[in-house]
């Protein structure tokens, strides 16, 4: 699964998140519990996830990256990344409502914190939440476990608070920058690592026809389709969704959620 190309708006997200990162470093950073199979031990003086973040209401899920749909072989998972955004998310939500489609929204923590009403609107629409980290750092797989912990756990907290208490059910690494550690951590918090099969590359503004053609030619590769509702002008995304959703139905697909 190829990583996304760098997007200019990510530097703004990273800058906005610096304050969150600085505070979190002193309060919420920890490393994974000992991995007895690999002989890895927690860093000295740092809490383990079980010691500090155990929650009886959280059920651990599988650590492998999910691609399949809970609707079976003819299911499709529409996933919407990088929001919420005050301009584009409401339009995406209205389009999905009009189309009778539920989707999974992979939210950036700082965006969720800034627009809690939109997070609540996503939940109210029957859609699912996904953790897309605090600041969408596509190089986080090259950084420390402490940093990965902060990005995942603080985003979980931000999204859950913004939603009014609804937890994200998935974790999608920015640009596909998963690590074994981040997958284990997310799964231990009840968030199934989530990949994709069809990348519309809408963040590159390739044109509506190109995006639609990508879905039509690649949906046979697997059911999880990647779109975005933030990070720039998403008018092409909306236009592509208007064509893609009815076409998928005509082909006999139904819309579901990624397996957990």
Which residues are catalytically annotated? 81, 228
Q: Can you state the angle between helices 235-250 and 89-99, rounded to 10 degrees?
A: 20
Q: Give Cα 162 to chain centroid, integer Å.
A: 15
Token pair recorded at residue 166: 């609804």
Kindly report the backbone phi and psi dihedral angles of residue 61, in degrees, each rounded to the nearest multiple of 5, phi listed first.
Answer: -115, 180
CA distance 248 to 218: 12
What's the Cα-to-Cα distance from 37 to each of 180, 186, 196, rounded to whole Å? 13, 19, 29
Burial of 84 (0-12, 13-18, 19+ CB in 10 A): buried
Whether cis (ω within 30° of 0) applies to the bond prior to 84 is: yes
The span from the first CA to the last CA of the chain, in angstroms, equals 19
CA distance 123 to 161: 12
Q: How many other CB atoms are there within 10 angstroms of residue 208's CB atom?
A: 19
Query: 3-class DSSP state for residue 63?
Result: coil
Burial of 38 (0-12, 13-18, 19+ CB in 10 A): exposed
CA distance 96 to 110: 24
């Amino acid at each position: 699964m190829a990583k996304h190309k760098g997007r200019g708006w990510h530097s703004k997200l990273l800058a906005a998140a610096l304050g969150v990162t600085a505070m979190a470093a002193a309060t919420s950073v920890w490393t994974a519990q000992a991995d007895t199979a690999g002989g890895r031990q927690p860093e000295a003086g740092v809490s383990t996830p079980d010691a500090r973040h155990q929650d009886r209401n959280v059920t651990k899920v599988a650590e492998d990256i999910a691609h399949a749909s809970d609707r079976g072989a003819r299911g499709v998972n529409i996933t919407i990344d990088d929001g919420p955004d005050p301009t584009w998310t409401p339009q995406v939500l209205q389009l999905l409502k009009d189309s009778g489609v539920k989707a999974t929204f992979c939210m950036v923590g700082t965006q969720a914190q800034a627009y809690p009403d939109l997070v609540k609107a996503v939940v109210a629409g029957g859609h699912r939440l996904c953790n897309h980290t605090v600041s969408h750092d596509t190089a986080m797989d090259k950084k420390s476990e402490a940093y990965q912990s902060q990005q995942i756990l603080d985003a979980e907290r931000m999204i859950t608070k913004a939603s009014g208490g609804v937890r994200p059910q998935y974790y999608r690494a920015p640009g596909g920058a998963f690590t074994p550690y981040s997958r284990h951590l997310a799964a231990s918090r009840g968030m199934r690592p989530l990949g994709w099969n069809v990348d519309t590359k809408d963040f590159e503004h390739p044109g509506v026809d190109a995006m639609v053609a990508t879905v039509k030619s690649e949906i046979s590769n697997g059911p999880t389709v990647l779109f975005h509702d933030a990070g720039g002008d998403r008018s092409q995304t909306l236009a592509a969704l208007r064509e893609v959703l009815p076409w998928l139905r005509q082909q006999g697909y139904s819309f579901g959620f990624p397996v957990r």
